[in-house]
């Protein structure tokens, strides 16, 4: 399986699971991620994100319209699902 096939097989649910595993350092079943697993998860999340429009990627910060423009007003904060 090449990288394109692997990325095509990642569903939004798998993507969210990988992001969560990176955040907490554990798999959903509680097992701790090894350094290699964490590195691969990060690479997969970055590669998956690259396929999205820029404004939908993890960590996107909208640009200012000009160098002298006031700060872009903050939108409603993100609320995490429990």
Per-residue H/E/C for the chain: CCHHHHHHHCCHHHHHHHHHHHHHCECCCCCECCHHHHHHHHHHHHHHHHCCCHHHCCCCCCCCCCCCCCCCCCCCCCCCCC
pLDDT at position 18 is 93
pLDDT interval class at 71 (50, 70, 90)? low
| Residues 12-47 pLDDT 10s | 999 999 999 999 999 999 999 999 999 999 999 998
Domain ranges across the chain? 3-56
Mean pLDDT, residues 6-10: 85
Measured between alpha carbons, how far is residue 13 from residues 19, 22, 33, 61, 74 in Å? Answer: 10, 14, 18, 24, 28
Percentage of the chain lying above the pLDDT 70 cut? 82
Which of 79 and 58 is assigned the larger pLDDT? 58
pLDDT interval class at 51 (50, 70, 90)? confident
């Amino acid at each position: 399986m090449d990288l394109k096939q692997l990325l095509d097989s990642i569903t939004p649910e798998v993507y969210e699971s990988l992001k969560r595993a990176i955040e907490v350092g554990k798999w959903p079943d509680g097992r701790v991620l090894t350094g290699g697993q964490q590195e691969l998860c990060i690479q997969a999340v970055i590669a998956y994100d690259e396929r999205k429009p820029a404004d939908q990627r993890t960590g996107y910060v909208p640009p200012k319209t000009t160098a002298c423009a006031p700060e872009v007003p903050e939108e409603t904060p993100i609320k995490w699902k429990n």
